[in-house]
Chains A and B, each alone.
Chain A
Amino acid sequence: MELLSGGDMVAQALEDEGVEFIFGYPGGAVLHIYDALFKRSKIPHILTRHEQAATHAADAYSRATGKTGVVLVTSGPGATNAITGIATAYMDSIPMVVLSGQVATHLIGEDAFQETDMIGVSRPIVKHSFLVKRQSDIPETIKKAFYIAASGRPGPVVVDLPKDITNPFDKFEYNYPKKVKLRSYAPATRGHAGQIKKAVSLLLAAQRPVIYSGGGVVQGNGSDLLTKLARELNFPVTSTLMGLGAYPADKQFLGMLGMHGFYEANMAMHEADVVLAIGARFDDRVTNTPKKFCPGAKIIHIDIDPAAISKTITADVPIVGPVDSVLSDVLELLSEARKEGGDTDKAALAQWWKTIDGWREHAGLWTKPRYDQSSALIKPQWAIETLYKVTKGDAYITSDVGQHQMFAAQYYRFNKPRRWINSGGLGTMGFGFPAAMGVKLAFPDADVACVTGEGSIQMNIQELSTCTQYKIPVKIINLNNGYLGMVKQWQDMQYEGRYSHSTYEDSLPDFVKLVEAYGHVGIRVDKKEDLEDAMKEAFALKDRLVFMDIHVDPHEHVYPMLIAPNGSMRDMWLSKTERT
């Protein structure tokens, strides 16, 4: 049996867990751990320039790979700086293990230097947390943390490590458990057979069905099964912001639904008679007024988390289970039913598709351009369509939060899961750039672009330095409209154009010079005709970070937009002047 110090145990446990990257920032309380990492030098550590960026990078690494992201920060400000990133991961159910230093056990509670009650501060935004009190508990605690983070409905787990238990002098037996079992934690492994049977008969009888797919299909690796099911049934599929890419952008795809969802998707939801919700949580950005949501529909809801079911919208057929296993069961029952002569109502479906095609023709974003293509200004939508063209639709796209995020979600036609990486639940500005770093480290040969705006990018712009240090050649697509665009849009629509603190009064930096100061490449684009070539040039520079500062029409709005309060899903603004 090996004898290890606490610091070495932490490092060894991460190695045994197969961790590929640690994103972090050293400080007093974690110096023993950092020394152990230095001496062993097995797992690459990425020193970000702010702990928030470390958490976003680890989070996006997880979103892109499906593996658990790992963060290492010190106590006090290191821990509190990580909070926004932990909350971001929590809201989107991303598996992450955050190791935070803590002051020595005998100092806890004494307001010691850099002391924060991390367990207390993080409590509402973690799946679980541990304060490790004894060295010998380190291996099992870390094993539990990884197990809890990745299983069931995933989420971030904090492991708080007081400095004294990682000291290099006291050594203990190290034994990393192969498996852990928790008597109080048993995520569902199969859906209820009776409920699945009910669901299948509802699906077969449906006249106006919609499959409403969410982030859980991406997280639960249900993409292939969803695609198979939708195609076998010939049902229309819509996706939440978090689920984009789980179902490809083919003719059965209605686009995103919700607040800035596609007209045909929102209309289909409102008129549906059967809604099959998979790994989606009926978020307020989707449902609009819950009482008016899907008035004529029976709702089948598949989710790994029982608490997500009937939370805001009552499910007629609730199915708790992992998306892949439930969808396999559904497919199996479906083929059995077919053998016995059961089938979908083909005539009703044909009629339903006709209705949907009518909606597409009327206001679908992909049927024909719904923004002014003759404008001399660069329209943000056009910038995204150019990005799609130049990257052949095969890039990893991370985004920040605001108008650019919605344009990217609407116009970059995602065909694969884990390609669209954004903060949907918490809506964290500053997420996109560090997220792109995490993805690029995981997939060094892939194109990784961060779609952002001049507002969001400045929330974590210090990471330009990290990209210099580790040579992380991401592309930054900055849709610069000189305003906090989504704030401005709301101020235009609801506050008579009073732009209360949504602009910067000529204080924006010269982004080209700024990135050059860090040793990167900056390209400013003002003219529409220069955009495509400039973008090609940017992506051709494979080993350089390129910051594209694209000056877009400052007055563009995102449409469609659900009308609230008291609206249903069919109540939308389709342009500045036209509503349903």
Chain B
Amino acid sequence: MRRIISLLLENEPGALSRVVGLFSQRGYNIESLNVAATEDPTLSRLTLTTQGDDHVIEQITKHLNKLIDVVKLVDLTEGAHIERELMLVKVRATGAQRAEIKRCTDVFRGQIVDVGPTVYTVQITGASDKLDAFLEAVGDAAVLEVVRSGVSGIARGEKVLSL
């Protein structure tokens, strides 16, 4: 099962490598990862997606919690949450395709953020499956380059991951 694990990490050199190292060391898989400082500059927020059954996820969260640099951790998939990923995709856009891609972008509520004589660069935000669906819709042949941010997430409602 796919899980989104989000954590607050000491914003210190080496902290990220401990998190990433844990996954390779223990044979777990990271599907996506993003990390940046929070409003408190001493803390980073790191969000990763991984696959595993309940036993594996329990081990992952326990081992992450054991890292001295990890301050707090939440498995967002355990409750209602909002998931977003940003994608920038460069697609071939010539002739009739130009209009088709524009339409497709509108359908997915994306934006064309750069225009060239033969290419568009499209920006799309949403859950990962929406981004996948867009790529499928425009087709492999048109896609020249894909850049995805990895998943960010936050719990719905009053729940807050903070100190």
Q: Which residues of A contact B69 (CB under 8 A)?
A: 184
Judge whether B63 and A307 touch: CB under 8 Å.
Answer: yes
B68 within 8 A of A: yes
Task: Determine which of A120, A129, A306, A310 lies in contact with B65 in the assembled complex, contact meaning CB atoms within 8 Å.
Answer: A306
Question: Given that A128-B68, A183-B163 are known contacts, is A120 also in contact with B62, CB under 8 Å in the complex?
Answer: no
Whether A148 sits at the interface, judged by CB under 8 Å, is yes
> Residues of B contacting A184 with CB < 8 Å?
10, 68-72
A60 to chain B, nearest CB (A): 25
Number of interface residues of B (CB under 8 A): 20
Interface assignment of B41: CB less than 8 Å from any CB of chain A: no
Query: How far apart are A125's CB and chain B's nearest CB, in angstroms?
Result: 10
Report which of A131, A148, A305 forms a contact with B13, defined as CB distance below 8 A.
A131
Interface residues of B in 42-84 (CB under 8 A from A): 55, 58-59, 62-63, 65-66, 68-72
Which A141-199 residues sit within 8 Å CB-CB of chain B? 148, 182-185
- Asked if residues A124 and B63 are in contact (CB atoms below 8 Å), the reply is no
Query: Which B residues are CB-close (under 8 A) to A185?
Result: 68
Assess whether B95 is interfacial by the CB under 8 Å rule: no
Interface string of A120-148 (1 = CB under 8 A from B): 10011001110100000000000000001
Known: A307-B59, A310-B58. A123 touches B68 (CB 8 A): no
User: Which chain A residues border B62 with CB–CB below 8 Å?
Assistant: 306-307
Q: What chain A residues lie within 8 Å of B59 (beta carbons)?
A: 307, 311
Would you give the shortest CB distance from A98 to chain B, in whole angstroms?
16
Complex CA–CA separation, A128 to B70 (angstroms): 12
Q: Which residues of A contact B63 (CB under 8 A)?
A: 307
CB-defined interface of A538-554 with B at 8 Å, one 1/0 digit per residue?
Answer: 00000000000000000
B21 touches A124 (CB 8 A): yes
- By the criterion CB–CB under 8 Å, are B66 and A307 in contact? yes
Considering only CB atoms, which chain A residue lies closest to B64 in the complex? A307
Contact with B along A489-533 (1 / 0, CB 8 A): 000000000000000000000000000000000000000000000
Q: Contacts of B17 on A, CB cut-off 8 Å?
A: 120, 123
A119 contacts the other chain (Cβ, under 8 Å)? yes
Which residue of chain B lies nearest to A127 when distances are taken between CB atoms in the complex? B68
- B18 and A123 within 8 A (CB): yes
B139 adjacent to chain A (CB < 8 Å): no
B14 within 8 A of A: yes
Chain B residue nearest to A119 (CB atoms) is B14
Q: Which of A204-222 contact B (CB under 8 A)?
A: none
Segment 4-30 of B: residues with Cβ below 8 Å from A: 10, 13-14, 17-18, 21, 25
B66 touches A123 (CB 8 A): no
Q: How far is the CA of A114 from the CA of B134 in the complex (A)?
A: 52
| Residues of B close to A182: CB separation below 8 A | 68
A311 proximity list for chain B (CB < 8 A):
59
Cα A377 to Cα B72 in complex, Å, equals 62
Complex: chain B residue closest to A152, CB-CB: B66
Contacts of A305 in B (CB 8 A): 66
Least Cβ distance of B127 to chain A in Å? 30
Given contacts A129-B14, A306-B65, A307-B62, contact A183 B21 (CB under 8 A): no
Give the chain A neighbours of B58 by CB distance below 8 A.
310
Closest chain-A Cβ to B1's Cβ sits at a distance in Å of 18
A185 vs B70: C-alpha distance when bound (angstroms): 8
Docked pose: A44 CA to B58 CA in angstroms: 45
Task: Determine the chain B residues whose CB is within 8 A of the CB of A306 once the complex forms.
Answer: 62, 65-66
CA–CA, A305 and B66, complex, Å: 8
Known: A183-B163, A310-B55. 11 other contacts (CB 8 A): A119-B14, A123-B17, A123-B21, A124-B21, A124-B25, A148-B68, A184-B69, A185-B68, A305-B66, A306-B65, A307-B65
A-B contact pairs, 9 of them (CB 8 A): A119-B14, A124-B25, A182-B68, A184-B70, A184-B71, A185-B68, A306-B66, A307-B63, A307-B66
